[in-house]
Amino acid sequence: MSPARLSVLLFLVPALLSAQMAPPIRGFSPVAAAAQAQLEGKMAGLLSRDSTGAWFKEFTRLPHPAASERNRQLAELIAAAWKRYGLEDVRLRRYDVLMPWPEQVGVTMTAPRTHRATLTEDCFPEDREACVGPELTYLGMSGSGDVTGELVYANSGNPADYDWLEAQGVDLQGKIAIVRYSNPYSYRGFKALTAEQRGLRAMLIYSDPQEDGYRKGLTFPNGPWGPESHIQRGAISYDFIVPGDPLTPGWASVEGARRIPEAEARSIPKIIAVPLSARDAEPMLRALAGPVAPSTWQGALPFTYRVGPGATVRVTVKMDGRVRPIWVTEGRIRGSETPDQMVVLGNHRDAWVYGAVDPSSGSATQMELARALGRLAQDGQRPKRTIVFTSWDAEEWHLTGSTEWGEEFAKELQAGAVAYLNVDGSTSGAEFKASAVATLNRLVQEVARDVADPATGKSLLEVTAARVGADGVVDNKLGSGSDYTVFLNYLGIPVVDLSFNGPYGVYHSQYDNHTWMSRFGDPGFRYMTTMAEVWGRMALRLANAAVLPYDATAIAWRLGQFVDELAAVPGVKERLDLADVTAAQRAMHEAAEGLEAALKRGVASPRAVNAAMQRLEQQWLLVDGIPGRPWFRHALYAPKYTYAALELPGIREAVDAGDWGAAQREAARLAERIRVMTAALAALR
């Protein structure tokens, strides 16, 4: 043996040894997996709770709502740090979007006695730093007006609630509804649309202590639940119809962009709506007479809830109607081999107030990960594909920044993005939650297998499977409510959404702040930092894998489940012919297994497989989208109007409307997409 060959062998021995010990990583040969594990270990070693905590402190120091001066400062602060960390092409992108701010908000009960809602949150001596003082609490995209009317209690403000009221003979026309946030949960924009459709003139949404207050446990500052004065702000945009700037639906609001008149915008509510604390709602609810509300509508306030009449309320909202600039920060670590292929990592930066959980925990996580990956690149350990970091703005309004950016760079993203990994709030507790398209199930599971839960030292996979079952570790039912929407539903790019969750009753209130996080959510920033490891390993695997770590058998299998669930909907068996869809799904499953076998034999060329696989998920996109919502193009997923997940949306909405002809047409469109997918998979074997 020549000395050269001997030294090669000696060089290989450690890698081969650790290759035998290391668990397999999808998309990597055993030797490459060992090197990858080493790289990821180095990345994890660079992560520090102290620097994560320092960023968290900076993000939560001041309120930073979308379009505020502070939020723009933060965009620049992030850009400067990313440059320091060694990221490339760091820049701010500006979009001008409709984002009216309030000039006046008032809610007053005028009968049976006068009571003016404070619309403010208490300050606690333990938490004096985080006291915003008098500011207007409001719901983004509320209509403007001054209306006085009879108050009616409508539970959660969902259609079934109004159906019940109407069945009791309660007239809703011209009245003002008072509704709860979550009984059951529905997105506040859906409540607004429902109230508008039922003829109400205004809507008050309040936080009942049963859902996030004292009925749950100790309240802030003694516990994680909401105190009586906490107010859940939020937007009521109809972004389940079309997200992003309402005046540029389907194209980016860059300089010079065409804008449609407000009257034509489908995502702008007309109804006037205001958020209330339990404390402000109590006197109004207490004043209601009339029929006793059903037992499931009773809340935690100390009296019997009635639906009305008995109280008259005046609601005044004046919004300024303005278009405002928002700022997306963008930076990248250029890939060493295929820089046009990208893994995109996004988090929104804007908060309703201090936004400790939502989103600053995720923002701090993202900064820490950018620092670690930047360091690796500076040390010469550059990813093969490009890793793009994005800090979105105005997510809280209509998923605005991410949608505009996705629309602006649609071509580049569809040509090169291999996945979008979203982290909104990274941490409100210790329970790991991952949602993803099934194509990425294996990737998510393997990453969870390789990251330790900081509390128990066991793997996140083990801890999570023990809690929700092995099948539930990755949730494949994707709704909306965060920035992955444009990537999944509009661009057809595989997405993952990650968080750690726990008891959290201060969402979108001023109490979602540094004190809350350091006392309850994540003392010591352990989970915030662990999320950087999860996110980083996932990004590095997608960036470095020889064969993209997608799993088409998983999506074919999950599709089969979605079809079974559809078939179980009453009436479907008798009235809808799903034979074509089922046959197509079986063929797709076979083609996916064929590809899997070919990959195992190593017969498929990685370059050809990657080029085709990168576009695979885009085969789900329907020309003209789902009926009535052309922006939402994915055949398997769309959000319900409540933001909940809706599978096979085109068929499902037609079935729910009882339109069997339309359902059959949508089934044919789905079968066609499955066949295109099958052909693409078969071509790769």
Comparing CB distances to Zn ion, the nearer of 356 and 543 is: 356
394 vs 545, beta carbon nearer Zn ion = 394
Residue 338: phi and psi, rounded to 5, are -130, 75
Q: Rounded CA gap, 200 and 255, in Å?
A: 38
Residue 487 CB, shortest distance to Zn ion, in Å, is 16
Q: Is there a cis peptide before residue 227, judged by omega within 30 degrees of 0?
A: no
In angstroms, rounded to a whole number, what is the distance separating the alpha carbons of residues 452 and 473? Answer: 15
Residue 626 DSSP label: B
Residues of this chain, 324-343, that bind Zn ion according to CB under 5 A: none
- The tokens for 77 are 């602060």
Q: Would you say how long the chain is, in residues?
A: 685
Give CA separation, 303 vs 177, 296, 299, 306, 644, in Å.
Answer: 19, 14, 9, 9, 32
Per-residue interface string for the shown chain with Zn ion, residues 19-38, x marking contact by CB under 5 A: --------------------
CB of 264 to Zn ion, least distance (A): 28
Name the residue nearer to Zn ion (CB basis): 368 or 424.
424
Of the pair 142, 363, the CB lying nearest Zn ion is at 363
Buried/exposed code over 450-480 (b: 16+ C-beta within 10 A; e: otherwise): bbebbeeeeebbbbbbeeeeeeebbbbebbb
Residue placing its CB nearer to Zn ion in the complex, 111 or 644: 644
Cα separations (Å) of 490 from 241, 619, 631, 637?
12, 12, 6, 11
Shortest Å, Cβ 355 to Zn ion: 7
Q: Of the two residues 228 and 358, which places its CB atom closer to Zn ion in the complex?
A: 358
Q: Which stretch binds Zn ion (CB under 5 A): 9-17, 215-223, 359-367, 432-440?
A: 359-367
Under DSSP, is residue 17 helix (H, G, I), strand (E, B) or coil?
Answer: helix
- How far apart are the C-alpha atoms of 654 and 17, rounded to whole Å? 57
d(CA 417, CA 79): 22
Question: Among 121, 208, 424, 497, which residue interacts with Zn ion (rule: CB under 5 A)?
Answer: 424
Give the Cβ contact number of residue 431 at 10 Å.
Answer: 16
Distance CA 571, CA 527 (A): 46
Q: Is 33 helix (H, G, I), strand (E, B) or coil?
A: helix
Selected range binding Zn ion among 72-80, 354-362, 385-393, 508-516, rule: CB under 5 A: 354-362
* 264 noted as active-site residue: no
Minimum CB distance to Zn ion, residue 224 (Å)? 18
Q: Is 350 in the site for Zn ion (CB under 5 A)?
A: no
Q: How far is the CB of 357 from Zn ion (least distance, A)?
A: 8
Q: Please choose, out of 313-321, 377-385, 417-425, 520-528, the segment that lies near Zn ion by the rule CB under 5 A.
A: 417-425
Question: Nearer Cβ to Zn ion, position 205 or 372?
Answer: 205
Task: Give the shortest CB-397-to-Zn ion separation in angstroms.
Answer: 11
Q: How far apart are CA 499 and CA 514, in angstroms?
A: 18
Q: Are strands 431-436 and 495-501 parallel, antiparallel or unpaired?
A: antiparallel
Rounded distance between C-alpha atoms, residue 79 and residue 327, angstroms: 11
Q: Which is nearer to Zn ion, 239 or 358 (CB)?
A: 358
Distances (CA, A) of 290 to 168, 174, 202, 282, 542: 11, 18, 20, 17, 60
Q: At what angle do helices 526-544 and 30-46 cross, to 10 degrees?
A: 150
Q: Which two tokens stand for residue 639?
A: 């959000």
* Nearer CB in complex with Zn ion: 227/346: 346
Distances (CA, A) of 252 to 243, 400, 621: 11, 10, 20
393 binds Zn ion, rule: CB under 5 A:
no
Instruction: Work out the end-to-end distance of the chain between its first and last CA atoms, rounded to an integer number of angstroms.
Output: 39
Candidate ranges 54-62, 151-159, 350-358, 445-453; the one touching Zn ion (CB under 5 A): 350-358
Are the beta carbons of 106 and 244 closer than 8 angstroms? no
Q: What Å distances lie between residue 77 and 58, 367, 378, 380, CA to CA?
A: 10, 11, 21, 26
Specify the stretch interacting with Zn ion by CB under 5 A; choose among 419-427, 429-437, 530-538, 617-625.
419-427
CB 369 within 8 A of CB 86: no
Catalytic-role residue among 121, 196, 395, 408:
395
Size of the site for Zn ion (CB under 5 A): 3
What is the closest distance, in whole angstroms, from the C-beta atom of residue 425 to Zn ion in the complex? Answer: 6
Shortest reach from residue 245's CB to Zn ion, in Å: 18
- The set of residues, in sequence order, having a beta carbon less than 8 Å from that of 390 and lying 6+ positions away, is 328, 329, 330, 344, 345, 346, 347, 402, 405
Question: Least distance to Zn ion from the beta carbon of 170, Å?
Answer: 36
What is the DSSP code (8-state) at residue 683?
T
Span of 38-46, 204-212, 423-431, 483-491 interacting with Zn ion by CB under 5 A: 423-431
The piece of 71-79, 293-301, 420-428, 473-481 that touches Zn ion (CB under 5 A) is 420-428
State in angstroms the smallest separation of the CB of 636 from Zn ion.
Answer: 24
Among 350, 358, 497, 533, binds Zn ion (CB under 5 A): 358
* DSSP element (H, E) containing 140: strand 139-140
Q: How many CB atoms lie within 10 A of CB 74?
A: 25
Cβ-based nearer residue to Zn ion, 208 or 358: 358
Instruction: For residue 359, state whether it binds Zn ion (rule: CB under 5 A).
Output: yes
- Only segment of 96-104, 302-310, 355-363, 645-653 that touches Zn ion (CB under 5 A): 355-363
The residue (of 359 and 627) whose beta carbon lies closer to Zn ion is 359
Nearer residue to Zn ion within complex by CB, 358 or 404: 358
Cβ at position 271, least distance to Zn ion in Å: 24
Shortest distance, position 483 Cβ to Zn ion, whole Å: 8
- The residue (of 64 and 201) whose beta carbon lies closer to Zn ion is 64
User: Which residues 6+ apart lie within 8 Å of 429 measured at CB?
Assistant: 500, 501, 502, 503, 504, 521, 522, 527
| Min dist. Cβ of residue 665 to Zn ion (A) | 37
Pairing of strands 431-436, 176-180: unpaired
**Binding residues for Zn ion, per CB under 5 A?**
358-359, 424
Catalytic residues: 395
